[in-house]
Chains A and B, each alone.
Chain A
Amino acid sequence: MDDDKGEPGLLEDSDGEADLSDDKSSKGENYNLSAINPQYKETWRTSSFQHSTKTCLALMREALLHHRWQEAAEYMACYTQRLEEPKHGPVVQDKELIWRIGTEILHHHPNSKMEDYNNIYERMKDSGFTNYLMISLEHSFHLLQNGHIKDAKHQLSVAESWRHGKKSAAQYKMTELILVYKGLLDYVMWCDKKSTLNRAEYPDRLDNQDMNNLFRAASVHLKEILKKPGVWDPFILSYVEMLEYYDDHEEVIRVLKDYAYDNKFPPNPNAHVYLYRYLERRNASQEKLMKVLKVLCALVPSHELMLEYSRLLLKSDQITNIHKALGIVLEMLDFASWRSSLDAWNLLKAIIKKLKSQSNWKDSVAEKMAARKDWWPALHFTRFHASKDSEELKEVKASLTKVLCPGLMLQYTAGQTTTEEGTGKKTSKRKRMSSISQL
């Protein structure tokens, strides 16, 4: 029809008329989708059908944003006709819209039931292959959330064995996810079995066949995923739990160490935490523990385990370690989240106390505080803090002010709030107040 396309009159004709430009096959051309996607451009080619569905989508969006779920459900019922768009067939975006918006409506609508969810998920899976795996995964999550573990597992099994054409990279990744969640579901079932274990029936707790099967099935998948770089926290925890139950400690150590120390994996503080906790459970030596925590310290200086680390360092009684501990605690207190922690301040007090046994402790403290002198007072020792902190904390902190910030007149004293922060001027009023505080 190329010769006719030149005529301008043809353009007017198309309004309301069946789109004759579809008819290319009579000339032997291949039927290609036009380069301009006609559905999302408001040109003269936008038909009333597209206008209707666009309006429907806009109104549905309004209803969703205002949480009018009933109305949104009505519009969704009208929007499904978009799937039957005769010219080019439903577009992937339409199907995805219907899937996502549909499930959202079901989440919030008061009358939605499990059957509705199952229905919608199954239908949307039928509708196309691009989103199939993703929908399967979401479906199984939903079943899992509602306690239907076996159904969830079944969904994943079906999805696992699904194929469409050549496996694309995205499909490959999704399939991996599906496998690992299958493993996780096996673990969940294993946990269920464990909790209902009857001691009398199975005197040897390792002998339960079902549990063993589940364990084996789960470990296959979990092991696989742990070889690939990524963040797999829930999976590794479940795997470790199962391995501990079966007393396979070498495997646990190996898995945890790989997870924490393998450079290909993204830096993950949790990995070190898990390793530390495990070693703690196994009563490992202090050196080992400190080694693990050293790496964690570099990653997350404000981690709560830093308190542990400092305590360990303090216990070790070596001077370098004590200096290190001081540095660590000060770094922790740099962060606002530890500001009112009694433990942290007490620890700092203990370290300073221990340090005082050294001769040149003032220098080492000053060295550490050098960078902090400017802003620590504002961070910890203002009048506002004095009014907010508890009595115990105030005591501890007040006693440290002199040590940490010698030479500065701070208005942080236990017992009373005082006037504005001075800059060295000594007024008689202040003197009186500071004397009162020392009572």
Chain B
Amino acid sequence: MDEEHTAGYKERCAVCSEVDWGISDEGRFYCRSCHNVIERTKEVVEPTFNPSSSRITTLSRGARTKTPERGQQWVICEGFQFILRNQADALIRLGVSPRFKDEVLCELWRSFLQKSGQAYASSLGRPSRTAGVTTVLHRGGDTESSTNASETDGDSCNAGSARDWSTFSGSLDAVSYLSGHMRRTRHSLLSMKRTLALIHVALVWSREPLTLSDLLRLVNEGHVPYVNAYQELPDEMKLQGKDALLFRVQSVPSHQVVHSDAQALIGFLKLPAFPPISRQSLLHPSLLSLRYLMDANLPDELHPWVCRLMERAGMADQTLHTIHLKDCPSLPRYDVQTASLIIVTVKLLFGLDDRTEWELSHEACDQDESGAMFNPRRWFRVVQAALSRAQHRRTQEVARKQWVPQKPLLLSSQKKSVALKTKRVAEQVQLCFEKLSGRPVSVQRGDPSSFRFLWGVGDSADGPSLHQKKLDGILTLKNGVPTPSNSTYWRPALSASQMCSRLYSDVEATLPRSFVWLLQLFCFLLDVKPAYLLQEVLRVEALVVKGNGKRGRKPGSMLRTKIQTWA
């Protein structure tokens, strides 16, 4: 069986002078009579390399140049188009209405391509390798069709084959895409992160209740393709070399990053006024807060308080939530905003200064025999237990997450053989340990849910539900109007803009623990950083307390304000 490999080698063995070679397990030649192993190894046949599929070869470089394999020519925006389509399809499968993709996303995409000059333009600003030659590509109106590049191509073909090793890529324009000229006009670039920004803008436009934190959660859990999304591109589009820089990602971007990218996109595309987000739409704080209240196991009676606070802060107005380039040019962060509102409400009602809420709990406990009153202490215990379990579960999921693709995409072909070998090694080691542990590495993706926690009775519940509890324990009647028993409200002497320049750990040390814990809870629910959330909380607080009299900023960490009537 080794004869076919060793037939060509007829040297005598150095030790025993025989010509009887075999191949060992490692692929090395060894002498069958004296077991002397030599340096020579068996040629490994690379299964994916197909030498017969060369199209054009030139005189330069000879056989060392890797000739383009059989496959169509494609440009970067086509690749991203496919990825975007797959992402949108995944969202539709999860329950988003198809309108989002057909009407909104496609239009956005086309408008983006047009504005950035990558398609749908009579003279494309996309520079090709051969300077001065503008190439015109026709694209079908149907995003599904995979069109060929037709008349380009004598030139770019030659350009492709005559390129040297360092500019090797599968697509036609990866190199020019990454060139300095394109990078300077940054807003017109496509990247994996940009696809998420596009989807987010489209979702906001179609007023789907999927917030940015939900979207990122779906991406993290793998329901929406992002990491290794390039594997789903059709086989004819070969990804090689420099394409890796664009299509290969090793991180899921954070909330802040995608949000700012979406903001930039809106500015770049100069979109008209968005469809209004009224109180009836699910992105408006009044309805979105219901969802977060339920997730945080807070009683339903809290919702009217949230709405009142929202009105006081002037956030009920739909113009604040609808993006319009003149009136409201900034993209609101619906999820973070609503969470901040809830935090401020809870802080108002419970105090959250490490003292008031426990006193209120005592009182509620004393007054209440039936157990129908909402008790902050009980809430804290129940939610904390569930939170720590959920955080531990999430850490484990993060640890077990597999990032490596089935088809590796490498920057340079030189490392391909090494990469294939290490892949083989890694797979075998993984197999060995999988067998040993009896648990396969790839997790089965369960159905995603809008909620992080499940409150209620039952085996899979995270804890008992406190939604039906009454708030009577913490409210008193004053002039016939229920008002919070807690009569003072504290604020850190910090504004939202000052928060940017401070380290969160410094600020966090000055805050009461209950407040910090509540921040952590919502950070877990939304998967954002605490500093980010705290900034928004400070902003909302400023809006709420605005017009409450001119109070000089006292030096010190806390400001206490008397709560006025909330009629």
Task: Name A16's contact: one of B183, B253, B412 (CB within 8 Å).
Answer: B253
Interchain CA distance A124-B421 in the complex, whole Å? 12
Residues of A within 8 A of B422 (CB): 83-84, 89-90, 127
Residue of B245, B429, B437 touching A120 (CB-CB under 8 A): B429
**Chain A neighbourhood of B400, CB < 8 A:** 56, 74-75, 78
Give residues 387-445 of B contacting A (CB, 8 Å): 395-396, 398-404, 408-412, 415, 418-419, 421-423, 425-430, 432-439, 441
A26 within 8 A of B: yes
B257 touches A26 (CB 8 A): no
Asked if B191 and A18 sit within 8 Å, CB to CB, the answer is: yes
Query: Given A12-B260, A116-B432, A126-B425, A18 and B396 touching (CB < 8 A)?
Result: no
Interface of A is mostly: helix
Chain A residue at minimal CB-CB distance from B193: A16
Which of the candidate stretches A155-163, A258-266, A320-328 sits at the interface with the other chain? A155-163
A17-74 interface with B by 8 A CB criterion:
17-20, 22-23, 25-26, 28, 31, 47-52, 55-56, 58-59, 70-71, 73-74
- Determine how close the nearest CB of chain A comes to the CB of B319; give it in whole angstroms: 29
- Measured in the bound complex, the distance between the Cα atoms of B53 and A117 in whole Å is 43
Partner of B398, one of A18, A26, A52, A154: A52
CA distance A154 to B400 in the complex (A): 37
* B39 nearest in chain A by CB position: A163
Decide: A52 near B399, CB < 8 A? Known: A161-B36, A161-B37: yes
Which A residues touch B415, using CB under 8 A?
89
Collect the chain A residues with CB atoms within 8 Å of residue B35's CB.
154, 157
Please state if B180 and A1 are interface contacts (CB–CB under 8 Å): yes
CB B269 to nearest CB in A, in angstroms, measures: 18
Chain A residues with CB below 8 A from B418, complex form: 89
B250 at the interface (CB under 8 A from A): yes
Residue B252, interface by CB 8 Å: yes
Most buried by A among B193, B254, B436: B436
A84 touches B433 (CB 8 A): no
Say if the beta carbon of B200 comes within 8 Å of chain A.
no
Chain A residues with CB under 8 Å of B409's CB are 86
Q: Which residues of B contact A56 (CB under 8 A)?
A: 399-400
A16 adjacent to B254 (CB under 8 Å) = yes
A77 interface residue per 8 A CB criterion: yes
B411 proximity list for chain A (CB < 8 A): 22, 86
Q: How far is it, in angstroms, between the C-alpha of A414 and the C-alpha of B293 when the chains are bound?
A: 86
Q: Is B52 an interface residue (CB 8 A)?
A: no
B367 within 8 A of partner (CB): no
Query: Which of B26, B39, B179, B429 makes the CB contact (< 8 A) with A26?
Result: B179
A149 nearest CB across to chain B (Å): 16
Interface residues on A, range: 35 or more
User: What residues of B have a CB within 8 angstroms of the CB of A23 in the complex?
Assistant: 178, 242, 245
Nearest A residue to B166, CB-CB: A25
- Judged by a CB distance under 8 angstroms, whether B76 is at the interface is no
Contacts of A51 in B (CB 8 A): 398
Q: Which of B166, B242, B248, B436 contacts A112 (CB 8 A)?
A: B436
In this assembly, does B124 line the interface, its C-beta being within 8 Å of a C-beta of chain A? no
- Bound-state CA distance A112–B403 (Å) is 27
Asked if A362 is an interface residue, CB under 8 A from chain B, the answer is no
Q: Chain B residues with Cβ under 8 A from A120's Cβ?
A: 429, 432
| In-complex Cβ contact of A77 among B166, B175, B183, B437 (8 A) | B437
CB of B249 within 8 A of chain A? yes
A16, B251: Cβ atoms closer than 8 Å = yes
Best-buried of A84, A105, A123 by chain B (most CB within 10 Å): A84
B residues in contact with A257, CB < 8 Å: none
Nearest A residue (CB) for B401? A52
Q: Hey, which chain A residues are within 8 Å of B175, CB to CB?
A: 26
Q: For the complex, is B244 an interface residue (Cβ under 8 Å from A)?
A: yes
Interface centre among A20, A77, A83, A106 (most CB of B within 10 A): A77
Bound together, the chains give a CA A262 to CA B167 distance in angstroms of 64
| Other-chain residue from A16, A48, A105 in contact with B257 (beta carbon distance below 8 A) | A16
| Known A4-B183, A49-B403: A80·B251 in contact at CB below 8 Å | no
Report A-chain residues with C-beta under 8 Å of the C-beta of B374.
none
Query: Which of these, B253, B432, B437, contacts A119 with CB under 8 Å?
Result: B432
What per-residue 1/0 map shows which CB atoms of A189-203 lie under 8 Å from chain B?
Answer: 000000000000000
Q: Is the CB of A158 within 8 A of B186?
A: no
Contact A83 B178 (CB under 8 A): no
Contact: A20 with B395, CB < 8 Å? no
Q: A424 near B: Cβ within 8 Å?
A: no
Q: Whole-angstrom distance between the alpha carbons of A122 and B432 in the complex?
A: 12
Given known A47-B250, A102-B433, contact A28–B166 (CB-CB < 8 A) = yes
Write the nearest CB–CB distance from B363 to chain A, whole angstroms.
Answer: 42
- What are the residues of chain B within 8 A of A1 when measuring CB–CB? 180, 183
Interface string of A102-132 (1 = CB under 8 A from B): 1001100101100010011011101100000
Q: How far apart are A125's CB and chain B's nearest CB, in angstroms?
A: 8
Shortest C-beta distance, A119 to chain B (Å), equals 5
Does B433 contact A157, Cβ atoms closer than 8 Å? no
Contact B178 A26 (CB under 8 A): yes
Q: In the complex, what distance in Å separates the CA atom of A70 from the CA atom of B257?
A: 39
The interface residues of chain B lying within 8 Å CB-to-CB of A58 are: 399
Instruction: State how many angstroms separate the Cβ of B388 from the closest Cβ of chain A.
Output: 16
The 10 closest A-B pairs by CB, nearest first: A16-B253, A73-B437, A56-B399, A25-B166, A47-B250, A77-B433, A83-B426, A49-B250, A48-B251, A47-B251
Given contacts A23-B245, A81-B426, could you give 19 more A-B pairs where the C-beta distance is less than 8 Å?
A: A4-B180, A16-B258, A17-B192, A22-B411, A23-B178, A26-B166, A48-B251, A59-B395, A59-B396, A78-B401, A81-B402, A83-B426, A84-B419, A86-B408, A86-B410, A102-B429, A105-B436, A116-B435, A122-B25
A-B contacts, 12 of them at CB < 8 A, read A15-B257, A17-B191, A18-B192, A25-B166, A48-B251, A78-B399, A78-B441, A80-B433, A86-B244, A116-B432, A123-B428, A161-B38
Please report A residues at the B interface, Cβ cutoff 8 Å.
1, 3-4, 9, 12-13, 15-20, 22-23, 25-26, 28, 31, 47-52, 55-56, 58-59, 70-71, 73-78, 80-81, 83-84, 86-87, 89-90, 98, 102, 105-106, 109, 111-112, 116, 119-120, 122-124, 126-127, 154, 157-158, 161, 163
